Structure 1
Amino acid sequence: MSTSSRQNGSTRAGDAERIQVAQLLTDAASQGRLSMDEYEQRLAKAYAATTQGELSRLSADLPDFATTANCGGIRKPAPSTLLLAILSGFERRGRWNVPKRLTSFALFGGGVIDLRYADFTSPEVDIHSISIFGGQTILLPPEVNVAIRGHGVMGSFDHVGEQGTPGAPCITIRGFSLWGSVGIKRKKRKNS
């Protein structure tokens, strides 16, 4: 690799670098430094970026960029998580680390998995959702790509449009519902 390509920012960007910039943009939006519209526009561009120079330009006007995005090293995905609702409920909302593998189970209970403000720690996420006489809702931000492989038996398992922004995390949702539901919805972030 030539020194000039590194200096002018034409070095190819990887998934880990795109995820780091996405997290920096999320931090800036939560601190009120970016409006929701500007945040969503920059986030889409970050996931579509092919070079480190493109990523640098998206966050150059934000504080702590040099220490956050250029810290180096590969970030490990968050550990696999199990969410249970047996005669009860669960909720994952706000800012949290989305693992590479997430399993949710509702038996005579319910839950909400809100990915709109979450930090993705892996470019690919597998969610296994099972509802038996219960209900779950999965809220997706507009930019993610999704593949749904679930089925309802005497119940429902929603299907939504799969296309998001090229380069954004890809979420695969598998599972089934028996006399229950797994509701999957794309929903914009609220303006603060």
Structure 2
Amino acid sequence: MSTPSSQNDSTRAGDAERIQVAQLLTDAAAQGRLTTDEYEQRLAKAYAATTHGDLARLSVDLPDFATTTTSGPRTPAPSTVLLAILSGFERRGRWNVPKRLTAFALFGGGVIDLRYADFTSPEVDIRSISIFGGQTILVPPEVNVAVCGHGVMGSFDHVSEQGTPGAPCVTIRGFSLWGSVGVKRKKRKSN
């Protein structure tokens, strides 16, 4: 499979190529080759890129081995269920975000942190249910978020500002009953 840099610079880029470059930039940031600010700026540009040339310019100063470690876009991670029944769950750090994720908390709680995660699909659907429990979902500034949840004798946060055009879109659905689902935009920590 060819990388975006090997294609004609004026050829329009698709979601798969944008995700591939986003993963390459995440790898470079994890290796300490990009600061957090550089990473976030390039990531926003990668999601907004329209051509292969736009994408190639984002990784031109990275070493050759960084571009060869990504053999192509990753296939979407399998659907995942996170359970917290009288307990808790955490999904933090570098992990592959599935296209569909279900999080359920009953007398428990959990954290889903998408700030350092690899998006393997341009659209992600999170079903979040909290009954006498709480969940926190942290999203980075560039990701687009749509919240369609409701709180009954509890709360379900709604995020108003949008992310970067072309960035992954995360739809959060569900409800909380005597519990909470907190959705918060949060920047990555500086190196």
User: TM-score, normalising length from structure 1?
Assistant: 0.92
- Counterpart in the other structure of 1:57: 57
Within 2, Cα distance between the matches of 1:154 and 1:148?
A: 18
Output the amino acid matched with 1:86: I
Residues 117-169 of structure 1, C-alpha deviations (whole Å, 9 max, x = no match) = 00000000000000000000000000000110000000000001241000000
Q: After superposing the two structures, state which structure 1 stretch, 158-167 or 169-178, moved more.
A: 158-167
Q: Aligned runs of 1:150-161 on 2, under 5 Å?
A: 150-161=149-160
| Stretches of 4+ aligned residues off by more than 4 angstroms | none
C-alpha contact (below 8 Å) 1:25/1:59 kept by paired residues: yes
Q: Which runs of 5+ in 2 are unaligned?
A: 1-5
- Counterpart in the other structure of 1:138: 137
Within 1, Cα distance between the matches of 2:129 and 2:167?
A: 25
- Counterpart in the other structure of 1:104: 103
Report deviation, 1:67.
Answer: 2.2
Report deviation, 1:68.
Answer: 4.3
Within 1, Cα distance between the matches of 2:96 and 2:114?
A: 9
Output the amino acid matched with 1:48: A
Instruction: Kindly report the root-mean-square deviation, in angstroms, between the aligned alpha carbons of the 2 structures.
Output: 1.4
Q: Does 1:37 align with 2:54?
A: no
Q: Aligned runs of 1:82-101 on 2, under 5 Å?
A: 82-101=81-100
Q: Which runs of 5+ in 1 are unaligned?
A: 1-5
- Counterpart in the other structure of 1:47: 47
C-alpha contact (below 8 Å) 1:147/1:162 kept by paired residues: no
Corresponding pairs, count: 185
Within 2, Cα distance between the matches of 1:7 and 1:44?
A: 21
Within 1, Cα distance between the matches of 2:122 and 2:41?
A: 19
- 3-state DSSP class of the match of 1:41? helix
Within 1, Cα distance between the matches of 2:21 and 2:177?
A: 40
